[in-house]
């Protein structure tokens, strides 16, 4: 809240959606920030449910999302609005998020998407903060700090509240791209993100990830692209299950501050039976989810693959890669 009060761009309203906090968050906001529009929900609707509530409570041309575990630089909002005003060909944009406690490292410079692996990845995660310093056409935005034209929601709909938590922004990225919209990185819009400050990573989170990753791809991808995704995912499952049975926890290693490495994405506490159950439930409900996005799947597989190849966080906008066909 203090970083929002210090913004150089002043023409905005602040809406805080509280997901049934059990502490004094709501009272604190009303006592110390009386100008803020506080919406106190009676139950935890998850991240996308809260986001949708805030979007519908606003009426501005631009909608900006900002997590509660962040601190924005004073010129953050000014850079976002200026970039969107200047580049009308983009429907949404991602800030450049740096680690709150280690700001020399990138937390996320937006999202990329790998169809064969079947997942989205944070651009530049744990790379030096000086990387990805030019505006570029990227696949999607990290919802922790992002800006959207209201017309985008009017065209493709809200965040999917059924996701509750994790991969909801990935699904929105996919839906927007398949509908023909584009996202940009605004690297001068800096936000410091204390990743995971408002949740604990437990088995339930991992199982939501299994379901939501399937939903994200299954409800949005063009038919042939979806077939490629299924093939890649099947091969990874064939590898993961025996590896898990012998005690190996697949994952990737990233460098740790101060030396050494750590493994991420290992899921060492997830039982195979539970993971398979989550996947089965996801595929069972997928036909219904896919019908929800039928009207906005405007790109065929060839066109979608061209988008995947063209989105490049290392290619400055001046190169012309952002121009529409």
The ranges assigned to domains in the chain are: 2-200, 203-307
pLDDT at 261 over 60: no
User: What distance in Å separates the CA atoms of residue 129 and residue 12, rounded to the nearest whole number?
Assistant: 28
Compute the average pLDDT of residues 38-51.
96
Write the CA distances from 276 to 61, 238, 312, integer angstroms: 43, 12, 34
Least-confidence region, from 5-9, 230-234, 296-300? 230-234
User: What distance in Å separates the CA atoms of residue 313 and residue 111, rounded to the nearest whole number?
Assistant: 9
pLDDT at 267 over 80: no
User: Using 50, 70 and 90 to split pLDDT, how confident is the model at 247?
Assistant: low
The predicted pLDDT at position 262 comes to 45
Length of the chain: 325
Cβ atoms of 233 and 222 closer than 8 Å: no
The predicted pLDDT at position 133 comes to 96
User: Using 50, 70 and 90 to split pLDDT, how confident is the model at 37?
Assistant: very high
Q: What is the pLDDT of residues 74-133, one digit of tens each?
A: 999 999 999 999 999 999 999 999 999 999 999 999 999 999 888 889 999 999 999 999
Mean pLDDT of the chain: 88
Compute the average pLDDT of residues 4-31.
96
**What does the block give as tokens for 71?**
């601190």
Compute the average pLDDT of residues 8-24.
96
pLDDT at 165 over 70: yes
The predicted pLDDT at position 275 comes to 81
Write the CA distances from 110 to 57, 125, 140, 146, integer angstroms: 26, 10, 6, 9
User: Using 50, 70 and 90 to split pLDDT, how confident is the model at 71?
Assistant: very high
The predicted pLDDT at position 116 comes to 84
Q: What is the pLDDT of residues 272-288, one digit of tens each?
A: 778 888 888 999 999 99
The predicted pLDDT at position 238 comes to 67
User: Using 50, 70 and 90 to split pLDDT, how confident is the model at 244?
Assistant: low
Class of domain 2-200: alpha beta
pLDDT greater at residue 267 or residue 316: 316
Cβ atoms of 147 and 93 closer than 8 Å: yes
pTM given for the model = 0.88
**What does the block give as tokens for 245?**
């049975």
The predicted pLDDT at position 188 comes to 98
**What does the block give as tokens for 66?**
């900002």
**What does the block give as tokens for 51?**
């986001």
User: Using 50, 70 and 90 to split pLDDT, how confident is the model at 321?
Assistant: very low
User: Using 50, 70 and 90 to split pLDDT, how confident is the model at 249?
Assistant: low
pLDDT at 181 over 80: yes
Q: What is the pLDDT of residues 192-240, one digit of tens each?
A: 999 765 666 567 777 888 899 999 999 999 999 999 999 987 887 666 6
The predicted pLDDT at position 227 comes to 95
pLDDT greater at residue 50 or residue 258: 50
């Amino acid at each position: 809240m203090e970083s929002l009060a210090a913004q150089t761009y002043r023409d905005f309203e602040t809406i805080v959606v509280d997901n049934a906090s059990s502490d004094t968050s709501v009272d604190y906001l009303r006592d110390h920030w009386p100008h803020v529009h506080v919406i106190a929900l009676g139950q935890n609707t998850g991240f996308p449910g809260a986001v949708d509530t805030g979007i519908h409570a606003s009426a501005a041309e631009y909608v900006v999302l900002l997590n509660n575990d962040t601190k924005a630089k004073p010129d953050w909002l000014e850079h976002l609005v200026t970039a969107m005003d200047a580049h009308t060909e983009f429907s949404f944009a991602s800030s450049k998020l740096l680690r709150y406690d280690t700001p020399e490292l990138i937390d996320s410079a937006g999202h990329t998407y790998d169809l064969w692996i079947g997942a989205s990845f944070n651009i530049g995660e744990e790379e030096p903060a000086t990387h990805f310093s030019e505006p570029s056409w990227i696949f999607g935005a990290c919802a922790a700090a992002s800006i959207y034209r209201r017309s985008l929601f009017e065209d493709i709909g809200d965040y999917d509240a059924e996701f509750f938590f994790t991969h909801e922004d990935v699904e929105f990225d996919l839906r927007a791209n398949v509908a023909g919209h584009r996202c940009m990185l605004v690297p001068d819009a800096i936000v410091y993100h204390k990743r995971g400050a408002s949740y604990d990573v437990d088995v339930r989170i991992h199982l939501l990830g299994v379901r939501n990753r399937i939903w994200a791809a299954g409800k949005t991808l063009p038919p042939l692209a979806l077939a490629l995704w299924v093939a890649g995912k099947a091969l990874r499952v064939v590898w993961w299950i025996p590896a898990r049975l012998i005690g190996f926890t697949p994952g990737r290693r990233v460098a740790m501050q101060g030396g050494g490495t750590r493994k991420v994405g290992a899921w060492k506490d997830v039982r195979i039976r539970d993971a398979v159950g989550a996947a089965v439930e996801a595929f069972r409900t997928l036909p219904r989810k896919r019908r929800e996005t039928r009207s906005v799947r405007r790109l065929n597989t060839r066109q979608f693959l061209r988008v995947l190849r063209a989105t490049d966080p290392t290619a400055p906008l001046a190169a012309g890669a952002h121009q529409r066909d």
